[in-house]
Amino acid sequence: MCGIFTQIVHTGFQHREELTQRIREANATRGPDARKSCCISCSQLNLEFFSSELRLRGNNPVVQPHKSESGSLLCWNGEIFAGMDVRADENDGIKLFEQLRSLETGDQVRHFFASVEGPYAFAFYSATAQKLFFSRDPLGRRSLLIHRPSATNPYFLLASVSAGPDPGYSFEELDTGHIHCLDIATLNKANDIVSAFDGCLSLFSRSDSVSSSSIHYAYVSRTHKGQHKFTSERFAFTTSVMLKVRDIPQDLSLKGQSRVAVLFSGGIDSTILTLLADRHVPRDEPIDLLNVAFENPRKIKVQQKGNINPNKKKSKAKVSESDTDPTLSNSTVAEFMVPDRVTGLSEVEELRKLCPGRVWNFVEINVPYHESQATRQHVESLMNPVRTVMDLSLALALYFASRGIGQIRSKPEDDPTPYTSTARVLINGLGSDELLGGYGRHRTAFVTGGWAAVVEELQLEIDRIPTRNLGRDDRVISSHGKETRHPFLSLDVVSFLARLPVEYKMDPRLPAGVGDKMLLRLAARRLGLVEASGRKKRAMQFGSHSARMEGDEKGDKLLES
């Protein structure tokens, strides 16, 4: 994981160095291990390439940008999990640059990236061709923002994350469907880069690539059973999980502490990922289960007994016995016994029975209301350019969960002790609902249009993934110098699941908690996760109580500036 920032400014323009430095610092937090800036001066243009480094591959420290003797540069924010031979002791960015620096055309760069699999965003400058190539992976698993030159702000910017809303730029998410190529040589000859910019930018569509099949997944319609044979092991995508959790460099000063954590609600997605991670993480290392809960004044008010007067002083929140676990000590604060905390506490016990040799650190991350409000402006800055109520409620949950500061208990009945997770790799279950029919709208589609409507809706889910959550989530989580990895969103897993007949994945005729994500539930049960296999879906913002803290604002409402 890295933060990357590239800017191109006309030599005659006096840009705001203060703003540029704030963007550098915002991207530096993503890579706390190293940072560096390289500058190139043309006759009329100044180019800067800045990278920070979070070292998660190879044995030796790496400082970016990668630079060749000819002057080519690479700012790399990604992981190569397949398509390139990278040993455990090697850095994938170095290996990638060795092959990339000889390429000079958009077609060459496009075909090269069609052969590798992993989350990435990059900016590559070919000194011999005098061209700048930049892109994100097909699913947009890494953030990359672009500001195009305008009359008000006549310069070009690329960044993993912005410095928050500012009149000095108009950032937007870079689309994932193309390799972008900016002709620096031609732009350098122009007197006005604003008017010349579009003519110097070429787009090379991934759909024209030799591996176009890897980015469009035509959902298979219903078919006769027996035509597709697969095992639960194959479906459980243990290889994808293995690639996400193995060969993570270890700080010798932290030997024996966690290198891997799971964003853990106790739901089926996070639990099956946790169980599979157990197979590939050294047995003597703990795995951190990050479980976040918010003090939500609105929810507390609803739970109060007899408080029908809105002006009456609030008494201490109470929850029903069904919402608490009697094995917990009296130090457990009732307002943090949110739905995800209850299911998380229950599910960690199932994991302990199935994997008794593992130390499971169930990290209770309790967020008081005043702290969430004090952090809100910073989280909104990280989210930028997205700005809806739903974006904020999800971003808050991810921000505090990934920070990993909370408490753990040796036994459920013990008092808690403070704990901060040392894990730099966070496993995230995003993608299962889109791939396996986990949303209520999939059931609605079946009611209104039958199986054909379900297939159409599932294809839309895949098409929308790059534009919905992943860039925002990456910007928020990476602000702590940590990296999120998505085993469900390995292109191999996506391709395999998308090609299965729809009735193998879900059956909307069955009740919720049974027919939704049916294939995943069957796999979980076969793996021994009986309790997890029957849990109904609950969105993170509602399970953690990060949503609707003051009122019933609609999720698509824009936040006030």
> Using CB atoms within 10 A of its CB, is residue 540 exposed (0-12), middle (13-18) or buried (19+)?
buried
Query: For residues 207, 212, 215 and 219, what is the CA-based torsion angle, rounded to 10 degrees?
Result: 110
Task: State the first-to-last Cα distance of the chain, in angstroms, to the nearest integer.
Answer: 30
**Cis status of the peptide bond prior to 65, with omega within 30 of 0:** yes
* C-alpha distances in Å from residue 17, one per residue of 22, 24, 48, 316: 9, 10, 12, 50
Query: For residues 224, 230, 231 and 236, what is the CA-based torsion angle, rounded to 10 degrees?
Result: -110
Map residue 403 onto helix, strand or coil. Answer: helix
- What is the length of the chain? 561
* C-alpha distances in Å from residue 53, one per residue of 191, 232, 259, 463: 36, 38, 17, 31
Q: Helix 491-498 crosses helix 238-245 at what angle (to 10 degrees)? A: 170
Query: For residues 126, 94, 114 and 204, what is the CA-based torsion angle, rounded to 10 degrees?
Result: -20
Contact assessment for residue 529 and residue 272, using Cβ atoms and an 8 Å cutoff: yes
Contact assessment for residue 383 and residue 218, using Cβ atoms and an 8 Å cutoff: no
Phi and psi for 202 in degrees, rounded to 5?
-115, 145
Amino acid at 259: R
Report the alpha-carbon distance of residue 538 to residue 542 in Å, rounded: 7
Phi and psi for 47 in degrees, rounded to 5?
-115, 135
Print the SS3 string covering 309-374: CCCCCCCCCCCCHHHCCCCCCCCCCHHHCCHHHHHHHHHHHHHHHHCCCCCEEEEEEEECHHHHHH
Contact assessment for residue 196 and residue 187, using Cβ atoms and an 8 Å cutoff: yes
Query: Does residue 2 carry a catalytic annotation?
Result: yes
Report the alpha-carbon distance of residue 154 to residue 8 in Å, rounded: 9
Report the alpha-carbon distance of residue 478 to residue 344 in Å, rounded: 24
Catalytic residue among 2, 75, 181, 200: 2
**Which residues are within 8 A (CB) of 45 and not within 5 positions of it... i.e. 6 or more apart?**
8, 9, 10, 11, 184, 187, 188, 193
Contact assessment for residue 169 and residue 163, using Cβ atoms and an 8 Å cutoff: no
Single out the residue of 352, 353, 347 nearest to residue 533, CA to CA: 347
Map residue 15 onto helix, strand or coil. Answer: coil
Contact assessment for residue 427 and residue 245, using Cβ atoms and an 8 Å cutoff: yes
User: Which residues are catalytic, by number?
Assistant: 2
